Amino acid sequence: PLQNTPRPLSQSSPDANPPSSPPTFLSIHTQQRPPTMPFTELDQAREKSLHLSSGSLEIITPTYSFPKSSIKVLMLEKVHQTAVDIFAKEAFDCIQVPTALSEADLIEQIKDVHILCIRSKTVVSAAVIEAANRLLCVGCFCIGTDQVDLFAAAARGIPVFNAPFANTRSVAELAIGELICLARRLGDRSRDMHAGVWKKSAEGSVEVRGKTLGIVGYGHIGTQLSIMAEALGMSVVFYDIVPKLPLGNAVALESIGELFAAADFVSLHVPNTPATKNMITAKEIEQMKPGAFLLNLARGKVVDLDALAAALRSGRLGGAAVDVFPEEPKSNGPGFETPLQGLDNVILTPHVAGSTAEAQAMIGIEVAAVLSGFVNSGSTVGSVNFPTVSLPLTRGTHRILNAHANVPGVLRDINTIFAQTGANVRAQVLGTTDGEGSVGYLIVDVEKDTAAETKKALYDCPHSIKTRILF
């Protein structure tokens, strides 16, 4: 499928009249090859590297051939100012839009954009990616990447990055807060007071100390929650499909059924995958302790909300806290509906577990940094749909980036190109993804005298998706 994807030309070139003072440059000679396309010779700009030696440390700052100020960044949904500041230091041209865009509007706006920055509400479909004639990369300033067609992006040589760690603490803190609120039925008491009803009672209220918290998904958030829960005097058990080292006194269980049977509180922290869709149905709820509490701050499709509502109405469960839903509004305002509305001891929040000032600031830094790293050096560390590849800068070379379909014989073809062009390869690294539509990604530093010829040959390779000379 990668070989048959249309790959229209997307090529930028330096300004005809460069500024008098030498700016910092970046070359975006991006070519998504159609059957016939003329090759443009490498720009005449020469690399002027600064070499600073301190012991074995050498810092190389290359001079690029395309003005960074011409790199267009489209930032949607109020991406945090920390990201804007990072891009400003890079001298990128940033366009900020405070809301999400519809597919039609995004298709119109994404033309000539090099970097697309979104949060959770903007959908980047295959049609959007097809219209993105110069797009280099996509940054999701959130944890999830469900809103992006990752396969279509990879097929066009576009890596997608996210922020898997930045809001970890914020989500864990909300889980702890909601856990205590459920134990003390604070949502109901607050509602009563707002209605003018004084209802002082200990009925149904318990301490969390001495209770057992079951964590499904012992990743970054699950482990943080584990540590915080133990500090409250709780016992912690967890289940994960991958063996994980328990932190503190937490105990790993062999099955999710064991966890349901042991836990007074069940907190879900799993990704959105086919395996986790409807992970919690009436069948799983029946395995939980009578009166147990369920928290879902993970993904909306993990829990069957109708089954959860029935269990809450019948008293099978003592309460629930839900922050994510199968279908969520695209914008703020009235009209949201869920079968959990109006039920006792149920906390509903509008997908805000990771929405704190601290988390958004860290997300801005984390994603902007990896996007800048990709644009400046070709590093794909942190990408969710591309091979993870990084290569230190090599002095006195030109860097070529090549994304290609990972098919049998492609590595042989690449090595043949190096031999035929006489390229002196100073450094290279190659990575591939697995499964259907597998993509290979090559970073190679070659001597300058053969760089243009080598790039053209890589571009002409029948399995190439995108080829760039970075500097």
Which residues are known catalytic residues? Answer: 299, 328, 351
**Alpha-carbon separation of residue 303 from 323, 325, 447 (angstroms):** 11, 9, 56
Cβ-proximal residues to 351 (8 Å cutoff; 6+ apart), any chain: 120, 323, 324, 325, 328
Residues 96, 286: Cα–Cα separation, whole Å: 48
Six token digits for residue 318: 């003592």
Residue 436 in tokens: 């259907």
How many angstroms separate the CA atoms of 393 and 372, rounded?
A: 15
Contact 118, 140 (CB under 8 A): yes
Ramachandran angles phi, psi of 292, nearest 5°: -70, 165
Count of Cβ atoms closer than 10 Å to residue 193 Cβ: 11
Q: Which amino acid is at 35?
A: P
Amino acid letter, residue 281: T
- Whether 200 and 192 have beta carbons less than 8 Å apart is answered as no
Distance CA 82, CA 115 (A): 16
Burial, 44: exposed, middle or buried (Cβ in 10 Å; 0-12, 13-18, 19+)? exposed
Sign of the torsion angle spanned by Cα atoms 282, 286, 287, 289: positive
Structure tokens at 348: 């509903």
